[in-house]
Structure 1
């Protein structure tokens, strides 16, 4: 049974599709995948934003009952979908960071994987409207939770890449970073304050190094 560990993936408060891209992350020791093991898959699903088509209670129940094999199989599908979404993100942002490159090089294959994931779990909107309460809706599906997970994330990726929000998607260009973020403020340049500090330190070093060469 998977343990109740915390995810190693950075959670930056981004939309679900972007948080999903960022399950590939990096530090000084290299590039890491936060969806490698059954424990890591469970940890990220527990910590991730709500997945359309997967009610919180339903997902928690599935995670509590899922076997290691269930999570490993879900992890395989998630990693393939994640690599496809990162390939599309690279195309959208003209991202040429070598460390961030997806193993899926072909855009058409990436699109096919995303579309296949959404097709596996047909879903529909359910309207809630009670006296004295504003109308609301949620997304439901009759599919297995493991299938609904990848379908819901793929649906969010499609929404991102087909909405105006895609123009605000950015690759963080701080030294060594492989993350993506949504530029929600005109002055935002980096995925996090830590990356901003690294980038400024690198610029400062390069200026001083250039100055030393001129003397």
Structure 2
């Protein structure tokens, strides 16, 4: 049976995957974590958890008051970006709906800084960000970061973790195919077990 929770019960959260510090979108898609024994952790699973994730990544203030509708939008964008990452890694065609969803998120935030005038200091430019636009700005930022990764020089390094049941993505360094030491140890142990279990030839 699959267990969903904000925080893990069986084992601690894995560390950020290689590349997550450079690309917040990588950490974003990895916020849904598959663990052994059918456990599953969703760091965006509740409004409070989603607010904490956004705050931790500098995308929303702690008192943003994220509601379930906003958390659902974040989870939806995450799945669309995961589809794009999977297509890039596998070299397959991408679903048009995933591409449309990311492009829609990209268009949500204004990119032009407006002109303002302070009575004491004079004119200045600033991009508006009222409270009701916090989510749109976060969605646009994450979508833009994913687009930068998919079209930039690091795109060829994007890969899926090679340790079952892990579903995280990472930027490959050398021959490393795992998102964490724990996943690497698990994959090596599985290979060793498979070799021992293989029937010997007569």
Query: Under a length normalisation based on structure 1, what TM-score does the superposition of the two structures give?
Result: 0.72
Cα distance in 1 between the residues matched to 2:185 and 2:91: 21
Aligned residue in 2 for 1:76: 72
Larger helix percent: 1
Cα distance in 2 between the residues matched to 1:188 and 1:95: 20
Deviation, structure 1 residue 187: 2.9
Q: Is the 8 A contact 1:88 1:110 kept in 2?
A: yes
1:172 to 1:65, Cα distance in 2 relative to 1, 3 A:
closer
Cα distance in 2 between the residues matched to 1:26 and 1:89: 17
Q: Residues 144-200 of structure 1: CA distance to partner in whole angstroms, max 9, x if unpaired?
A: 2121111111111111111111111010111211000011x2132211000000000
- Number of positions where the alignment pairs a residue of Structure 1 with one of Structure 2: 174
- Mark the runs of 5 or more structure 1 residues left unpaired by the alignment: 1-5, 52-58, 97-104, 127-139
1:198 to 1:95, Cα distance in 2 relative to 1, 3 A:
farther
User: 1:127-146 counterparts in 2 under 5 A?
Assistant: 141-143=127-129, 144-146=133-135
Cα distance in 2 between the residues matched to 1:44 and 1:95: 30
Aligned residue in 2 for 1:133: none
Aligned residue in 2 for 1:22: 30
Q: Is the 8 A contact 2:160 2:177 kept in 1?
A: no
Cα distance in 2 between the residues matched to 1:198 and 1:95: 27
Structure 2 residue aligned with 1:174, among 163, 167, 170?
Answer: 163
Q: Structure 1: which 4+ aligned runs deviate by more than 4 Å?
A: 6-11
Q: Is the 8 A contact 1:26 1:177 kept in 2?
A: yes
